[in-house]
Amino acid sequence: MAGAGLRQSQKAATRQRVLAAARDLFADQGYDAATIRQIAQRAGVSVGSVFTSFASKGQILSEVMQQRLDGLYAELDGVIPHLRGSTADRVRSMFAIHFAFEIRHVQLFLAHIASAYDWTLASGALPFGRNLRLQGLLTDCLSTGVSTGDVDPATDLQGVVDLLMAAYAWTYRLAAWEQASAEAMTAVMDQQIGLIFAGLRPR
Amino acid sequence: MKHVSPTEVTGEARVKGPTRRALAKQQTRNKVIAAARQLFSENGYEGATIRDIAAAAGMSTGAVFANFSDKSDLFREIMFSDFSKLVAEMREAAGRARGIEDALLKIFSTGYAFYRTEMPLARAAFSVSWAPQEGELFRKIAPLAETQQLIFEQLNLAVERGELGQEAEVKLRAQMLYEAYLANYPQAIFEGWSLEALQARSRDQIRILLAGARRG
């Protein structure tokens, strides 16, 4: 039993070392250029043991991003109760916080979006676009909007969440292709949120 | 038996020679494209190699490279031909529609139906479209931009008919409708949504995105 427990904790330690090494390498030279061999070297483990913990580089990225997002959501949990204004304004603030956080790692987030369609991604990994925490926050915010009379109760909330997520992913074009700032992305997103909420008014 | 003069034979040969070569070249290209289509569907864009594609087509990698400059070129050729067909079908469907909501729903549904049996290829296309270098070339595939243009035209027609208000923000709305159209593909790719489920979700989304522009 003790042996199994030790093996478990060694395995967990290896995972963490690999994730930390990957995070640094991705930041230094980008996702595409970083190889599994380099990640293993930096983590001080063999290539084989990287593959015992992770199915692919795509999966490593997915978990690196997940850890980053843990920090973002810890921040958001503290901020959300203090958000004021209409439902649309509160949704705007939530996305503005995301953009301000993500703009620092745009290339990684783009790689993350692309990897959502990667064949090698293990089914347990959560790629971008299936970010359930953000979707949960949006659903809560919309439900509150229904109860405060901001949002038509007949609305299919998941459909609206999908529209918001679509606009969110798409806004990344600006960062990727036009090197837009977080402010520019937020301005474009604000417009789109306004258009969506104009269609949600109770009639 | 019909008599054929020697001059007619040479005349014919002069016309037929290049045609036959062009035909053979086209057949080779078609064979490569068919093999590539299959492998991109099975292994994704990253997973399919030119070597595998050549083997599946029963030719050397050299023969593949004689026809396509690289894998990205080959992939874009497949996408170009698919999108050209698709956008023509969408245009035709929109022409049969009654009203803007119906037109948009027909455009969306035509896309989902087109890819219903080819979701793995759609998945590969999404993957490529977000890749840093290949993505830029991918987004320049002409008929791809035409889909958004078609939505834009339909909205403008609806404004002209008085179905939507003059201040309908057509450009932003067209872009958002296009985003919504694309964003439903992952539901089909990852969650196995049926055509009916995609249509129901699209109808709700189209209604929301049009609501602010409706008259009265």
* Nearest-angstrom CA–CA distance, A51 and A40: 10
User: Per the structure block, which two tokens stand in for A103?
Assistant: 């703009």
Q: Which residue, among B194, B189, B213, has the nearest Cα to B104 in the 3D structure?
A: B213
Nearest CB neighbour to A165, from listed B44, B124, B183: B183
The dihedral sign for the CA sequence A193, A132, A125, B200: negative
Confidence category of residue B44, pLDDT binned at 50, 70, 90? confident
Question: Is residue A179 helix, strand or coil?
Answer: coil
CB contact under 8 A, B208 and A165: no
Cβ of A119 within 8 Å of Cβ of B43? The answer is: yes
pTM of the model: 0.82
pLDDT in tens, A87-137: 999 999 999 999 888 888 877 877 777 777 766 554 555 555 567 888 999
Is the ipTM here above 0.90?
no
CB contact under 8 A, A114 and B127: yes
Distance CA A195, CA B164 (A): 14
Could you give the dihedral angle defined by the CA atoms of residues B78, B103, A152 and A90, in that order, rounded to the nearest 10 degrees? Answer: 40
Region of A131 on the Ramachandran plot (φ > 0 left; ψ -120 to 50 alpha; else beta)? beta
Residues A105 and A68: beta-carbon distance below 8 Å: yes
Per residue in A136-168, pLDDT (tens digit) is 999 999 999 999 999 999 998 988 999 999 899
| Candidates B130, B176, B184; nearest CB to A192 | B176
Question: Which residues 38-97 of A are in CB contact (within 8 Å) with B?
Answer: none
- pLDDT at B17 (0 to 100): 63
Q: Report the C-alpha gap between B194 and B185 in whole angstroms.
A: 11
Residue B33 near residue B77, CB atoms below 8 Å: yes
Using the 8-state DSSP alphabet, how is residue A121 labeled?
A: S
Q: Which of B100, B133, B179, B209 to mutate to test the interface with A (most CBs of A within 10 A)?
A: B179
Phi first, then psi: give them for residue B153, nearest 5 degrees: -60, -45
For the record, the structure tokens of A28 come out as 């230094």
- Chain B residues touching chain A at CB-CB below 8 Å: 43-44, 46-47, 123-124, 126-127, 130-132, 135-136, 169, 172-173, 175-176, 179-180, 182-184, 186-187, 189-190, 201, 204-205, 207-212
* Residue from the list B47, B135, B169 with its beta carbon closest to the beta carbon of A195: B169
Choose the closest CB to A166 out of B132, B180, B211: B180
Which two structure tokens, joined as six digits, stand for A171?
A: 């806004």
pLDDT at A127: 53
Question: For residue range B169-213, what is the model confidence (pLDDT) as tens digits?
Answer: 999 999 999 999 998 988 888 888 999 999 999 999 999 999 989
For range B99-114, the mean pLDDT: 97
Helices (H), A106-156: 106-115, 132-147
